Structure 1
Amino acid sequence: MGLRLSGKGQQSHRMVIFAAIFILMTLLILYGSNNANEAVYTPFHVATNHAIKTTDLKKWSGRDGYVPFYGNKTLNLHCHNCALVTSSSHVLGTRAGDEIDRTECVIRMNDAPTLGYESDVGNRTTLRVVAHSSVFRVVRRPNEFLHRTDSNPVIIFWGPPNKIGKEAKGTLYRLIQRVSMTYSNVSCFSVTPSKMRRFDSLFHRETGRDRQKSHSWLSTGWFTMVIAIEICDNIKVYGMVQPNHCGKPGSKKMPYHYYKPRGSDECVTYIQNESGRRGNHHRFITEKQVFARWAKQYNITFTHPKW
């Protein structure tokens, strides 16, 4: 004898089926949405379908891409051997300061200090590459970064043209210009808008990722490495970890900056930036994978840690 559902039973049955279909459709939409996000940015090593277009950075370089904030100085720096000192806390305890200071040219980034850290990072600075977001931190400490009687450092500032560009003449531009006029021993340059576009296109060629479409910001490390390749015959990098460092078992927590012991954890910062989909993020791991490719081509070695 067949079982017949009452009117209310049939209605309830239809509602259950409708709810099941609704949940299934929602899951499919969410899955498709996640896949679309993945298409915007995936880690560099996953992009196996992209034919890498390498660039000869020695030919790519051009000194016309850097203009002085004051006077008619030109960037004509060339070094046989360079020490590129990162801001990573991996440099702490290395006792590499003397070795760094003996190197012909020493390159540093943003507002990474030497005072109090000399035994590990040295004291000399030949070139400092500074992001627009770090300008005020550098200017607030003139004795550390600007008023150096023992050297004549070069500082290259990079950032959006509307913030540090000569044509815009915004607040940051005028501030750096005053610094250049006050501290004549320091040579201050900005990256021109055309050169900034070339840095973007270089990232695209080397990774297959469009920086703007993937909501990425190039890091100061990217600018510094490329500039170092332009001016140095040999580069020894201090404190930079391998691209797969944060995926290794047993990797211990380390502050992102050696001078901010209570700051964010290095690997947490790398992973969050690499996987971030909303807002703008640095792609530190992707950049390091490019640096690893460049190492043999441009005589780059890595120490503390060595790889």
Structure 2
Amino acid sequence: MKTTTERCVIATAIFILTTLLILYSSSTGNDITRYKGSFVYSILNRAPLNLKKWVTEDDYLPAIGNKTMNLHCGQCALITSSSHLLGSKMGSEIDQTECTIRMNDAPTTGYEKDVGRKTTLRIVAHSSVARVMRKPQEFLNKSQETIFVFWGPPQKMQKNQRGKTYRLIHRACLAFSNLSAFIISPKRMQQFDDIFQRETGRNRKKSHSWLSTGWFTMVTAIDLCDSVQVYGMVPPNHCNRNVPHTRTPYHYYEPKGPDECTTFLRSEQAKKGNHHRFITEKDVFAQWAKLYNISFSHPSW
């Protein structure tokens, strides 16, 4: 049976030890923890990551044949799928940019005044491949002026009978001989995960996260472009619960689709299953903007 004096000594020792640990942790300055909803992530205080040095020649594999991905642009317009672009009348400005980058199955037909009509590069997720293939007139018939980059889990993108998504892409390449299509290599896919962990301090898989097409597109744009003008992407704090916002469809081409902020907040706060961490990604983009000549329009950051 411990005496009162012994208990006080033990409690004091624990208090001193805890205090020293806190002071040590604070003094190292290696990890600044931030909170977005219930998804906790860290902005690591270390030397900036040079994303351009992560690229190698075999990062983009030709879907058919032996083509080489050699695109490089001085100025790029990255057009998001956000309905913030509706009514912007930015189409003409976008089309005047040297290279334009779009995502998934975001169309231009009918939306030219706001999003432009020119597409130099289209980044497509494995989950959107079928939707792109179902609209050949919108996407594949215009392929002479567009390079497609497809991304997805390596098991779906393998060049064998088990890679179902790859087979869809391969058939499209056979049907449209002018189609210039590349698949992000398994090694490069792992690099995207590594970049996420390095920039946020969180392991993508262990934190139940899925990287968004926006993440793949932004990293690819930094790789291929000297400067990037992003259209339609909201800043990280746009969906702050304390600030009322008007309902805004997640996609400009789906007016009855889910609300943008509702989607962002639910995805950010979800603990079970795998979810995009849209707000976390945008916080990282804000840091990258200072390093890679990235600017944002409609809305401006």
Higher Rg of the two aligned structures: 1
* Partner Cα distance (2:171, 2:43) in 1: 49
Unaligned residue ranges in structure 2 (runs of 5+) = 1-32
Is residue 221 from structure 1 mapped to residue 189 from structure 2 by the alignment? no
Contact kept? 2:38, 2:270, Cα under 8 Å: no
Matches within 5 A, 1:207-286: 207-247=200-240, 249-286=243-280
Bigger fraction of residues in strand: 2
Flag structure 1 segments of 5+ consecutive residues without an equivalent.
Answer: 1-38
Q: Shift of residue 50 of structure 1?
A: 4.3
In structure 1, how many angstroms separate the alpha carbons of the residues matched to 2:161 and 2:92? Answer: 42
In structure 2, C-alpha distance between the alignment counterparts of 1:44 and 1:195, rounded to whole Å: 29
Q: Aligned residue for 1:81?
A: 75
Which amino acid counterpart does residue 159 of structure 1 have in structure 2? G
State the AA in 2 paired with 1:191.
I
Q: Which has a greater percent of helix?
A: 1
1:127-146 to 2 correspondence within 5 Å?
Answer: 127-146=121-140
**Alpha-carbon distance in structure 2 between the residues aligned to 1:162 and 1:115:** 33
Q: Which residue, out of 196, 199, 204, partners 1:203?
A: 196
Q: Distance in 1 between matches of 2:118 and 2:286?
A: 26
Distance in 1 (CA, whole Å) between partners of 2:47 and 2:209 is 20
- Are 1:154 and 2:159 counterparts? no
1:179 is displaced (CA, Å) by: 0.8
Correspondence for 1:104 among 98, 101, 109? 98
Tell me how many residue pairs correspond in the alignment: 267
Q: Which amino acid aligns with 1:174?
A: R
Secondary structure in 1 matching 2:246:
coil
**Range that drifts further, 241-250 or 122-131:** 241-250
1:144-191 per-position Cα deviation (integer Å, ceiling 9, x unaligned): 111117x42111110011111225652221110111122122211111
TM-score (norm 2): 0.84
Change (3 A) 1:226 1:77: same
Separation in structure 2 between the aligned mates of residue 90 and residue 44 of structure 1, nearest angstrom = 26
Please say if residues 165 and 193 of structure 1, whose CA atoms lie closer than 8 Å, have aligned partners that are also in contact.
Answer: no
CA distance in 2, matches of 1:45, 1:133: 24
Cα-Cα RMSD: 2.0
**Residues 215 and 114 from structure 1, CA distance in 2 versus in 1: closer, same or farther, beyond 3 angstroms?**
same
Identity across the alignment (%) = 58
2:175 is matched with which residue?
A: 182
CA distance in 2, matches of 1:61, 1:45: 29
**TM-score of the pair, normalised by structure 1:** 0.83
Q: Give the residue type in structure 1 aligned to 2:73.
A: C
